[in-house]
A = this chain, B = another copy of it.
Amino acid sequence: MISKKMQAILLDSGATFYQDALDVATLYESHPLDHALLILLRTRYSKVPVLNDCEQLVGLIGIVDILNLAVDIEGLKPEKLKQRQVWEVMETDYPKVLLGEPLEKIFHLLVDQNFLAVVDEFGYFLGIITRKSVLKSVNHLLHTVEKTYDLQAK
């Protein structure tokens, strides 16, 4: 278990760890892949959440996933992306979290993920938790813990 006192300081930094869906670049599962690639290049994100028409989270897609479909032994063939759609190459095996999930779980999952997608109980996409937001809060903790507590060696 994460120390409760540490958790209180982490949450106290004002960080919600949470970036609202309205501020997150996403793609739809029916997006054509050539178009999806251009959007990813423009936003400069290497991976983004994928939604269905109801705004439910259905996957993640990255530039590498798309390009690997377009590469053969002779090099990159962008024409292979035409008539193919996001759902065909998106990742469907990835961790997601509910709003208000324990920090324990969030910190554990972020060791291996650049960001975590947040959904509600019906799978609707609510936003993301990034390593950036968590590291900001950790910096706050490391700088302030001894202002809040006396640490006596046991």
Interchain CB contact under 8 A, B63 and A67? yes
Interchain CB contact under 8 A, B63 and A64? yes
Given contacts A78-B78, A138-B138, contact A151 B150 (CB under 8 A): yes
Can you tell how many copies of this chain the complex includes? Answer: 2
Given contacts A37-B76, A64-B41, A131-B135, contact A152 B153 (CB under 8 A): no
Q: Quick one: which of B7, B71, B135, B143 contacts A2, CB cutoff 8 A? A: B143
Interface centre among A108, A145, A154 (most CB of B within 10 A): A145
What residues of B have a CB within 8 angstroms of the CB of A114 in the complex?
A: 114, 131
Interface size class of A (residues with CB under 8 A): 35 or more
Q: A residues near B, CB below 8 A?
A: 1-3, 5-7, 34, 37-38, 40-41, 44, 46, 62-64, 67-68, 71, 75-78, 103, 107-108, 110-112, 114, 131-132, 134-136, 138-139, 141-143, 145-154
Q: Quick one: which of B3, B63, B138, B152 contacts A107, CB cutoff 8 A? A: B138
What residues of B have a CB within 8 angstroms of the CB of A110 in the complex?
A: 135
Given contacts A135-B107, A136-B111, A152-B150, contact A145 B75 (CB under 8 A): no
What residues of B have a CB within 8 angstroms of the CB of A141 in the complex?
A: 6
Nearest CB on B from A57, distance (A): 21
What residues of B have a CB within 8 angstroms of the CB of A62 in the complex?
A: 46
Interchain CB contact under 8 A, B153 and A132? no
Interchain CB contact under 8 A, B139 and A108? yes
Q: How far is the CA of A73 from the CA of B145 in the complex (A)?
A: 52
